[in-house]
Amino acid sequence: MLDCHYHLDESSVSVDGLLKSMDSCGVSRTALIAPMCPDIKHNLFMALASPVFLRLLRSKIKAANAAVRAIYNSWVKENCQVDVGGRLYPLTIQPDNKRIVQVVQEHPERFYGWIFVNPKGLEDPVSQIDRYSKIPGMIGVKAHPFWHSYPVSMLWATAACCQEKRLPMLIHLGVGENGDFAWLAKNFPGVNFIFAHAGIPYQRDVCALAASAPNVFVDISCSSYINVPIAKMAVKLAGPKKCLWGSDGPYFHHKDDRFDYSFYVQLLKNLNLNSEDEKNISSGNFEAILQGQSK
Ligand SMILES: [Zn+2]
């Protein structure tokens, strides 16, 4: 299995702990992202509210979607903080790609790295992509217009650079202009976009677009944003060639320097896929993107 979405938060799980966790759960390789916040904790509120939130978000009733999206949007606070389950976490404006490069170079058989950019940050995204994309194993670009709070149009130079270098982008969408997935897909047909967490907060619409747009994919990572009904919806709407397995670890599932992959392994099993679809979602679709075969 290939995990396309994991945050290297070494205060929660060390590199060695992650390798052991991958080995014990059959994960051959993991694509690392620099962390942008301290370790996020699950609490009772989240456990109770999450299923209701997710149900309303994937509802066919537009008013329900809009109401839930407004709540989702309210989690991003002023002065670079985010509210997760009623608790405030400070965000990193410029996530540290150097550490990701180091770990990828130390374990080239086990890790890939995403180059995390922020067009509102301190470093120019294009110069970061120029520098890091030359390094073997640094596979594409991650952007978080939701938590870093910017319109996706600010990713114009980043996406143009990815198009030129044939690099995929992993994007966690915000709301409104911060989540304009259709604009990205239309303007950069040469970039394979993987929208995180089935395209939250536009899961139904993003998955529907993935079915028709060759450059649109979704990942089914993060137990706060994905459950079995949503993952099934993603596979049904986007198609089994357009969904990628991932964890969004180490958040919510780590203990004693181990990341517990079992929720995500079980999630995939619970989709009751045939073996070909399961293989494509667990690794084949991501491999195809990395080999540039999906273009
Ligand atoms: Zn993530």
Q: What is the mean pLDDT of each run of 10 residues along the chain (295 residues)?
A: 97 96 96 89 70 84 88 86 84 94 98 98 96 96 96 98 97 97 97 97 96 98 89 97 96 88 94 97 97 63
Residue 45: the pLDDT is 66
In a domain, 286, yes or no: yes
Helix (H, G, I), strand (E, B) or coil at 7: strand
Task: From 113, 159, 160, 110, select the one nearest 136 (Cα to Cα).
Answer: 113
User: Please, are residues 33 and 114 in contact by the beta-carbon 8 Å criterion?
Assistant: yes
CA–centroid distance, 285 to ligand 1, in Å, is 19
How far apart, in whole angstroms, are the C-alpha atoms of residue 195 and residue 64? 22
In a domain, 207, yes or no: yes
| 117 strand-pairing partners | 143
Handedness of CA 46, 210, 167, 121 (dihedral sign): negative
Token representation of residue 259: 């990341």
CA–centroid distance, 196 to ligand 1, in Å, is 7
Pairing assessment for the beta strands 138-143 and 76-77 based on DSSP bridges: unpaired
CA–centroid distance, 143 to ligand 1, in Å, is 10
CA–centroid distance, 290 to ligand 1, in Å, is 19
CA–centroid distance, 172 to ligand 1, in Å, is 7
In a domain, 295, yes or no: no
CA–centroid distance, 189 to ligand 1, in Å, is 24
In a domain, 159, yes or no: yes
Identity of the residue numbered 221: S
CATH number of 259's domain = 3.20.20.140
For residue 117, the number of C-alpha atoms closer than 13 Å in the C-beta half-sphere is: 27
Token representation of residue 70: 């407004």
CA–centroid distance, 127 to ligand 1, in Å, is 23
CA–centroid distance, 82 to ligand 1, in Å, is 14
CA–centroid distance, 248 to ligand 1, in Å, is 5
Residue 295: the pLDDT is 42
In a domain, 31, yes or no: yes
Residue 236: domain span: 2-290
User: Please, are residues 238 and 230 in contact by the beta-carbon 8 Å criterion?
Assistant: no
CA–centroid distance, 251 to ligand 1, in Å, is 9
Residue 80: the pLDDT is 84
In a domain, 210, yes or no: yes
User: Please, are residues 191 and 218 in contact by the beta-carbon 8 Å criterion?
Assistant: no
CA–centroid distance, 62 to ligand 1, in Å, is 26
Angle at Cα 213 formed by Cα 209 and Cα 216, nearest 5°? 75
In a domain, 113, yes or no: yes
User: Please, are residues 32 and 8 in contact by the beta-carbon 8 Å criterion?
Assistant: yes
In a domain, 54, yes or no: yes
CA–centroid distance, 61 to ligand 1, in Å, is 27
Under DSSP, the state recorded for 114 is: E
CA–centroid distance, 145 to ligand 1, in Å, is 12
CA–centroid distance, 291 to ligand 1, in Å, is 23
CA–centroid distance, 102 to ligand 1, in Å, is 20
Q: For the chain, how many structural domains are there in total? A: 1
Q: In terms of C-beta distances under 8 Å and separation of at least 24 residues, what long-range contacts does 195-198 make, across chains too?
A: 195/171, 195/219, 196/5, 196/170, 196/171, 196/172, 196/221, 196/222, 196/248, 197/172, 197/221, 197/222, 197/225, 197/226, 197/248, 198/225, 198/226, 198/230, 198/231, 198/233, 198/234, 198/243
CA–centroid distance, 193 to ligand 1, in Å, is 15
